[in-house]
Chains A and B, each alone.
Chain A
Amino acid sequence: MKRSKGGGDEEAPRQNGSASRRKADQQQSDGDEGGSDIGPADLQDDDNDQGLRREIRSKYRDLISSVQQNREDMLSPSNNKLTEVLEEANKLFKDVRQAREAALDAQLLVVATDLGKEKASQLFSEGTAFDPTAFAEHLLSFMGLNRLEDDEDEQQTTANGYLPQDAWHRLARRAECCFRTAPSFHYMMGSFYAEPPPPKQRIERQRKAPSKEAKRIMPTQLKKMEESQQEATEKEVERILGYLKSYYQDDPTSPISYYEFVIDPSSFSRTVENIFHTSFLIRDGLARMYLDEEKLPCIAPVEEGEVEAGGSTSRKQCILSISPKIWKELIDAFDIRDSIIRPPNKQND
Chain B
Amino acid sequence: MTQRKRPSSTQSSSQRRHTGNLVAQDEDDDVTFTQPSTSQVQRGLEKLTPAQVDQKTAEVVQYFLVKDQKKMPVRRADLVKHVVKDYRNIYPEILKRAARTFDQVFGLKLVEIDPKNKMYILVNNLETPDKASPIRSPSNPKMGLLLAILSVIFMKGGVVRENLIWNTLKKLRVDPGEKHEEFGDVRKMVTDEFVRQRYLEYVRIPHTEPIEHEFRWGQRADAEVSKAKILEFMGELHEQDPKTWTQQYREAHSLPNSSQASTSSSSSSQR
Q: Which residues of A contact B (CB under 8 A)?
A: 68, 110-111, 114, 118, 121, 124-128, 130, 132-140, 142-143, 159, 163, 168-186
Contact = CB atoms under 8 A, between A and B. Distances in A.
Nearest to B229: A178
A133 to B, nearest CB: 6
A169 B124 contact: no
A216 B155 CA distance: 63
A140 B172 contact: yes
B245 A139 contact: no
B144 A181 contact: no
Given A127-B247, A132-B152, A138-B238, A180 B145 contact: no
Interface residues of B, number: 66
A127 B244 contact: yes
A45 B233 CA distance: 69
Interface string B197-229: 000000001111100000000000001111001
Given A124-B156, A172-B142, A186-B69, A180 B151 contact: no
Nearest to A174: B132
6 contacts: A128-B245, A136-B168, A173-B132, A177-B130, A177-B132, A182-B106
A126 B157 CA distance: 11
Contacts of B68: 182, 184-185
Given A125-B245, A127-B244, A132 B164 contact: yes
Given A135-B155, A178-B225, A179-B143, A110 B207 contact: yes
Contacts, number: 155
A111 to B, nearest CB: 6
* A-B pairs with lowest CB-CB distance, top 8: A171-B144, A127-B246, A168-B141, A185-B65, A136-B171, A178-B229, A172-B144, A175-B147
A107 to B, nearest CB: 9
Given A114-B207, A176-B129, A177-B229, A171 B148 contact: yes
Nearest to A145: B173
Contacts of B151: 135
Contacts of A133: 168, 171
A43 to B, nearest CB: 34
A124 B157 contact: yes
Interface in B116-172: 121-126, 128-133, 139-148, 151-152, 155-157, 159, 161, 164, 167-168, 171-172
Contacts of A168: 141, 144-145, 182
A139 B207 contact: no
A143 B57 CA distance: 43
Contacts of A143: 144
A135 B168 contact: yes
B207 A135 contact: no
B224 A125 contact: no
B240 interface: yes
A68 B209 contact: yes
Contact of A159 (B173, B225, B230): B173
Contacts of A137: 171
A41 to B, nearest CB: 37
A111 B233 CA distance: 37
B108 interface: yes
Most A C-beta atoms less than 10 A away, residue of B126, B141, B226: B141
Contacts of B234: 130, 135
Contacts of A138: 237-238
A180 B124 contact: yes
Given A132-B152, A169-B141, A121 B229 contact: no
Nearest to B169: A136
Given A140-B173, A175-B143, 16 more contacts: A114-B205, A114-B208, A124-B247, A125-B157, A130-B245, A130-B248, A136-B171, A136-B172, A137-B171, A138-B238, A139-B148, A140-B171, A172-B143, A176-B129, A181-B124, A185-B66
A71 B173 CA distance: 25
B244 A128 contact: yes
Contacts of B209: 68
B125 to A, nearest CB: 8
Contacts of B205: 114
A180 B259 contact: yes
Contact of B237 (A135, A176, A180, A181): A135
A154 B66 CA distance: 51
